[in-house]
Amino acid sequence: MTIFRNPFNLFITGIAAALSSCGADIPGPNIVIILADDMGWGDLAINGNTNVSTPVLDKFVKQSLSFDRFYVCPLSAPTRSEMLTGRYFLRTGVSSVTQGFENMRSEEVTIAEVLKENGYATGCFGKWHNGGYYRQHPLRQGFDEYIGFCMGHLGYYYDMEFIHNDTTVRSAGYTTDFFTDKALSFIENNSDKPFFCYVPYNVPHSPFQVPEEYFLKYRSMGLDSLLSSVYGMVENMDHNIGRILDKLSELNIDDNTIVIFFSDNGPNTVRYNGNMKGRKGSVDEGGIRTPFYLRWPGVINAGSTSQLAHDIDIMPTLLGLCGIKYSPENTIDGIDLSDVIRNRTSPFDRYIFSRQAFQDLNNCNASVRNNRFRLVRTKNDTLLYDMISDPSQSKDISDEESTVLNEMSLLLGKWENELVKGYKPVTTIEAGFPSEKSFVLPVQDAILTGNIKYSSIHPNQSHTEGWKMSGDSLYWNLNVNTGGNFLVELQYGCPEDNIGSEFILKSNSGYYSFVINIPFESVILPERDYVVRNESVERKWKWMPAGNIELKTGSEQIVLKLANPIAGEGCLIKAIRLSDFH
């Protein structure tokens, strides 16, 4: 008989029944979570892809427990917030991937915070994508060390400047190699105590840049530039994962380390994905089913499980495996699957809910599935599929299974209504904390007016162009923790022929004007793309002092307005930076 779990029994009062194998005085296992970005289930050779080479992960799969049906969100930031908190993304304040809608509530309790409280060293190396301001920063969300970037994607994958805790660091070489280097240092430095190492890579997300040797390998096989880039990025990541696994073995701690690998959503292009319907952004099977492998040598048996699992399960399951008791103040939506993993209980049926991540909450496709059926609701129709007999979702069976259709529709509607009703965005910028030496306001988090436009359809990593008309402006909404007098700097580019435009910088307390009178040629970085990008090009930028501004405690609005333009394009603007003048 199939055991069925009530999908709305969402609140976990604690993990009192969790396994106590770690013991009160015995250090718990180390944890390494490796997260790919935009990698599909079908991007592994072991999953039937005859074009890609992934020897490390293929071997890792054979050593691990594989979840045959593991689900995430259709897009990046929601998946990350769910994994970190065990809560549905809308509960965490996340609803999309840019312009502040990717920001996670600073009040959320992450798995890193719980592990840190239980004696773990914690480090994160790579793409964060859940907010970059002071209280949302990984350092204030449970991590002892962070090196990476907080936006949704990078514009360039070589020799970049990254956040290192509350400062910056310049990388050398390819990004995936760099993040791996930093993760290896963290593991080595903390190998004598329990650690949590989170490695969220930024590949195979576009732009499609990869070391030439990997690209040429796949081009020589006859693949086009897009697939050659994607599979080259995947193979390079596979190599770097091998470096992490080798380090654990070298330090003789692999038997006491849980290693997890998965991806944040389905593939970002149309490519082999096991004949599943949908890709990144879709709530169909192919958009939200990703590989998920868990290895703990000598403790967890290798093999596979048919247990339906979701990214919200990662936090409670890991705490269960480590024997860590946790009594959350907020609703935990995930389920502790540690007993299933240890074969102490049988797999059970459940509902897996999914929703698109758009800023317009009333225009999102959604789906729900259990072991047999998947219901998909769009603005045009509601379809039902038998995922056992029709895993490619080729036939709608709504008419034949009208009772199931109605039951699942009601459950999906109830789930959506609860989350949408309680959703509160975190788009107001929290800044000006006493220990915050400076903060950057990128144009992606501003509201544009007039003729100003982003340099790409993707605000992430974009700059602003079109500063031509008097009165054109952009502004940021802030909540200032501690008011004061701040030094303002402008990140810009402006050729010598175009200097001289006058700008006004305004807060609630007053305004002043300044002139861009220092030329700087914002050159585009050397061409490394193998596929024409739709992201903004990456450029060199300059900071120039722009004066001082008074900010009051509480609600503030900072406005940057073009007051007196010169003829033609005045400049390119990337961000402003505020530093405490005192």
Q: Where are the domains of the chain?
A: 31-344, 366-422, 429-580
- Between CA 47 and CA 301 the distance in angstroms is 20
Question: Quick one: three-class SS letters along 314-335?
Answer: HHHHHHHHHCCCCCCCCCCCCC
27, pLDDT greater than 80: no
Domain 31-344 class, CATH top level = alpha beta
The more confident residue out of 359 and 412 is: 412
pLDDT value for 423: 95
Task: Please state the rounded mean pLDDT for residues 262-290.
Answer: 98
Residue 84 DSSP symbol: H
10, pLDDT greater than 60: no
pLDDT tens-digit readout, 301-346: 999 999 999 999 999 999 999 999 999 989 999 999 999 999 999 9
- Between CA 29 and CA 299 the distance in angstroms is 11
15, pLDDT greater than 60: no
- Between CA 575 and CA 489 the distance in angstroms is 9
473, pLDDT greater than 60: yes
Which of 224-228, 345-349, 358-362, 434-438 shows the lowest per-residue confidence on average (mean pLDDT)? Answer: 358-362
pLDDT tier, 359 (very low <50, low <70, confident <90, very high otherwise): confident
Share of the chain above pLDDT 90, in %: 92
Query: 3-state DSSP call for residue 35?
Result: strand
Task: Please state the rounded mean pLDDT for residues 259-282.
Answer: 98
Angle between helices 55-63 and 225-250 (to 10 degrees): 50
pLDDT tier, 24 (very low <50, low <70, confident <90, very high otherwise): very low
- What lies within 8 Å, CB to CB, of 129 at 6+ separation is 76, 77, 80, 97, 102, 150, 151, 152, 200
- What lies within 8 Å, CB to CB, of 44 at 6+ separation is 52, 54, 57, 58, 61, 234, 291
Question: Quick one: three-class SS letters along 526-549?
Answer: CCCCCCCCCCCCCECCEEEEEEEE
pLDDT value for 515: 96
- Residue 285 φ then ψ, to 5°: -55, -45
The domain defined by 429-580 carries CATH number 2.60.120.260: yes
The more confident residue out of 27 and 230 is: 230
Q: Which CATH architecture has domain 366-422?
A: 2-Layer Sandwich (3.30)
pLDDT tens-digit readout, 491-531: 999 999 999 999 999 999 999 999 999 999 999 999 999 99
pTM here is 0.94
| Burial per residue of 507-525, b for 16 or more beta-carbon CB atoms within 10 angstroms, e otherwise | bbeeeeebebeeebebeee
Task: Please state the rounded mean pLDDT for residues 431-436.
Answer: 94
Task: Please state the rounded mean pLDDT for residues 564-577.
Answer: 88
pLDDT tens-digit readout, 88-113: 999 999 999 999 999 999 999 999 99
Share of the chain above pLDDT 70, in %: 95
Q: Are 316 and 336 in contact (CB under 8 A)?
A: yes
